[in-house]
Chains A and B, each alone.
Chain A
Amino acid sequence: MSSVSVRDISLNFGAIRVLQDLNLEVEEGEFLVLLGPSGCGKSTLLNCIAGLLDVSDGQIFIKGRNVTWQEPKDRGIGMVFQSYALYPQMSVEGNLSFGLRNQGMARDKVRERVDRAAKMLQIENLLARKPAQLSGGQRQRVAIGRALVRDAEVFLFDEPLSNLDAKLRSELRVEIKRLHQKLTNTMIYVTHDQIEALTLADRIAVMKGGVIQQLDVPHTIYNRPRNLYVAGFIGSPSMNFLDGEIVAQDGGLVFRLGSHEVPLQDYVADIDLRPAANAVFGVRPEHVEVFQGDADGSKPTFPAVVDLEEPMGADSLVWMTLEGQQLSARVEASRRFRRGDEVRVAFNLPMTSVFDRQTEDRM
């Protein structure tokens, strides 16, 4: 049985269709990330699941219960917001216990739950403080605690780390992952940060224009993006796209890049590859090998000219021109490139993707 099941959800604001016939099944204990740029409907979907927005059509089930018409408090959810949304006039303890007190829970039981959550998040010594006296990281911890005390079946996170600085963000990211391992609750997490998505998720749903583009495990999303949009959105630095065509040659297929031909026999296809006049060859920078001087000759190489080098600490990004098209490659930081250098590049074929220019789908 799925933990959360979204069936044919549509949501319109007047004439604007934000979500269209969206279906989503989240397994028990799964960490699902909704990933997309701002305005793609991911937060809206989360608000629908939480019951903070009424859907125009469709149904929502949580633990097999149809909660489509239920109030947020009756859905068995806990929610964490980007802006923390702590009640400013209440102490941390007041914030944590607010939901429980609203349920009319006995005082000693409230106390017990609050203490347990505070211990888990290491905020025991902050219980008497007001939110204004807390740092950003502490505030977000309290916000998570507020969801925790409710013993919710499903946790909803609405970009919880977006307001924090980079260092704190990576710290809390790990903490959320640990929390999920400890609690084994179902978690739905909205973010526009692909690193967060790739590191946290059991499965990622990449959204665009109110439609889920691809829903799969992070590895597949990264290595077998279903379409051009997903391929371009995931990965930093992003994937190279080279325009060309697929033609049959010597009984096999090749990708023709101007005057060069990339043999495709090692390519892992989603559907049967066939010749196509307009195709896009997608390769991530780390799957481009750059040879200065002689190549080892084990695989086909192509000539390119270096434009510029971007050192990124652990490695460098080299920008080149291949057949008049831009191409970037990730290389060891110790290697040096100068503008105008003539190099040869090779592709790690099993890790590349070929897309149809018209449908934008992976082949």
Chain B
Amino acid sequence: MTDAALDAPRGPKPRPALSRRNVFLYGTLLVVSVYYLLPLYVMIVTSLKGMPEIRLGNIFSPPVEVTFEPWVKAWSSACTGLNCDGLSRGFWNSVRILVPSVVMSIAIASVNGYALANWRFRGADLFFTILIFGAFIPYQVMIYPIVILLREVGLYTDLFGLVIVHTIFGMPILTLLFRNYFTTVPEDLFKAARVDGAGFWGIYFRIMLPMSLPIFVVAIILQVTGIWNDFLFGVVYTKPENYPMTVQLNNIVNSVQGVKEYNVNMAATLLTGLVPLVIYFVSGKLFVRGIAAGAVKG
């Protein structure tokens, strides 16, 4: 045997930085990121320009004179119909819709999922099937019947009516999410808690809840983004002073009177998208963990 054969392959295998594989990989990633980030860039840049600068037509160029005027206007004085108090009204409406909807839907769905996973009551399978079936019914079919239902109980155009609608529509997917998560909790744990004398609620609050932070984060993200971005239910089940932010945004952007204020529109859109964006950034890691945990077992 020669000396070279004895010496050469030893330790970690060398990996050239500029191999064909790497060029392809990072090249593709770069192109895809530009594709997704460019519109965002245009929006941010435009929202920081004044109208004269926008009229020049260079949508990719950075602002010569940075101005926050459009953001202020979008938030506090843009007109939708008769109201000229900007998006702030819609923002607070959305918050008033969002918070109770998220809390209620998650509270109910987590108990549902827990009961379905751990307490095998009579008819549990049938109940679960019906619930899952609900996830596949198109919304459009249910819009008008719900209008009638809400009208009959006197909640049509009321914010609370919309909260109920969001809670119900969140139920199938959230229940499934929680059920799948709770079935991964070892059964012995549940049995041990029963021997220790904990009941339905005792086990739920003191054993299951503290173990389930990741899946609650997932549920919160799903619900916050879903409900915040909702347009259809918002426009159908509320009246103009109760419109959520998305509906108001549409009314600002699509208003046909006067000059198209692109910078204000862009700022308004960014403002509306800010809440889901913040949620994603804050909880990204937990989100991935929770999704993976919930998906392991069906």
Q: Does B188 contact A (CB under 8 A)?
A: yes
In the complex, which residues of chain A have a beta carbon less than 8 angstroms from the beta carbon of B195?
50, 52, 72-73, 77-79, 99
Interface segment among B69-77, B83-91, B104-112, B196-204: the answer is: B196-204
Interface segment among A83-91, A107-115, A208-216, A218-226: the answer is: A83-91
In the complex, which residues of chain B have a beta carbon less than 8 angstroms from the beta carbon of A86?
192
**Contact string against B for A residues 73-111, beta-carbon threshold 8 Å, 1 for contact and 0 otherwise:** 100011101111111110000000011001100000000
Residue pair A85, B197 in contact (C-beta under 8 Å): no
Q: Does A362 contact B (CB under 8 A)?
A: no
> B191 is contacted by which of A52, A78, A87, A98 (Cβ under 8 Å)?
A52
In the complex, which residues of chain B have a beta carbon less than 8 angstroms from the beta carbon of A73?
194-197
In the complex, which residues of chain A have a beta carbon less than 8 angstroms from the beta carbon of B194?
52, 71-73
> B197 is contacted by which of A81, A103, A158 (Cβ under 8 Å)?
A103
Residue pair B186, A146 in contact (C-beta under 8 Å): no
In the complex, which residues of chain B have a beta carbon less than 8 angstroms from the beta carbon of A82?
188
In the complex, which residues of chain B have a beta carbon less than 8 angstroms from the beta carbon of A79?
191-192, 195
Known contacts A83-B188, A85-B186, A85-B189; A99/B197 CB under 8 A: yes
Max chain A CB contacts within 10 Å: which of B191, B198, B211?
B191
In the complex, which residues of chain B have a beta carbon less than 8 angstroms from the beta carbon of A103?
197
A43 to chain B, nearest CB (A): 11
| Count, chain A residues at interface, CB 8 A | 25
Q: Is the interface of B mostly helix, strand, loop or mixed?
A: helix
**Contact string against B for A residues 51-80, beta-carbon threshold 8 Å, 1 for contact and 0 otherwise:** 010000000000000000001110001110
Max chain A CB contacts within 10 Å: which of B189, B192, B206?
B192
B103 to chain A, nearest CB (A): 22
Interface residues of B in 145-163 (CB under 8 A from A): none
B140 to chain A, nearest CB (A): 41
Query: Can you name the residue of chain A whose Cβ is closest to the Cβ of B202?
Result: A102
Residue pair A99, B211 in contact (C-beta under 8 Å): no
B114 to chain A, nearest CB (A): 16
Residue pair A81, B188 in contact (C-beta under 8 Å): yes
CA distance A150 to B194 in the complex (A): 13
B202 to chain A, nearest CB (A): 6
**Contact string against A for B residues 173-214, beta-carbon threshold 8 Å, 1 for contact and 0 otherwise:** 000000000000010110111111110001000110011000
Query: Can you name the residue of chain B whose Cβ is closest to the Cβ of A89?
Result: B210
CA distance A52 to B196 in the complex (A): 12
CA distance A146 to B196 in the complex (A): 9
Residue pair B202, A85 in contact (C-beta under 8 Å): no
A106 to chain B, nearest CB (A): 16
CA distance A158 to B195 in the complex (A): 13
Query: Can you name the residue of chain A whose Cβ is closest to the Cβ of B198?
Result: A102
Query: Can you name the residue of chain A whose Cβ is closest to the Cβ of B185?
Result: A88
CA distance A158 to B187 in the complex (A): 13
B279 to chain A, nearest CB (A): 25
Query: Can you name the residue of chain B whose Cβ is closest to the Cβ of A97?
Result: B196
B240 to chain A, nearest CB (A): 47
CA distance A22 to B211 in the complex (A): 38
Known contacts A50-B195, A73-B196; A85/B188 CB under 8 A: yes
Residue pair B188, A98 in contact (C-beta under 8 Å): no
B122 to chain A, nearest CB (A): 12
In the complex, which residues of chain A have a beta carbon less than 8 angstroms from the beta carbon of B191?
47, 50, 52, 72, 79, 81, 85
> A102 is contacted by which of B186, B188, B197, B210 (Cβ under 8 Å)?
B197
In the complex, which residues of chain A have a beta carbon less than 8 angstroms from the beta carbon of B196?
73, 98-99, 102, 146, 150
Besides A83-B188, A85-B191, 11 new A-B residue pairs in contact (Cβ under 8 A), listed by A number: A52-B191, A71-B197, A79-B191, A79-B192, A81-B191, A85-B186, A85-B192, A86-B192, A87-B189, A99-B196, A102-B198
Interface residues of chain B, those whose CB is within 8 Å of chain A, are: 186, 188-189, 191-198, 202, 206-207, 210-211
16 contacts between A and B (CB under 8 A): A47-B191, A50-B191, A71-B194, A72-B191, A72-B197, A73-B194, A73-B196, A79-B195, A83-B186, A85-B188, A87-B189, A98-B196, A98-B198, A102-B196, A146-B192, A150-B196
Task: Give the 8 A-B CB pairs with smallest separation, nearest first.
Answer: A73-B197, A99-B196, A85-B188, A102-B197, A89-B210, A85-B192, A81-B188, A72-B195
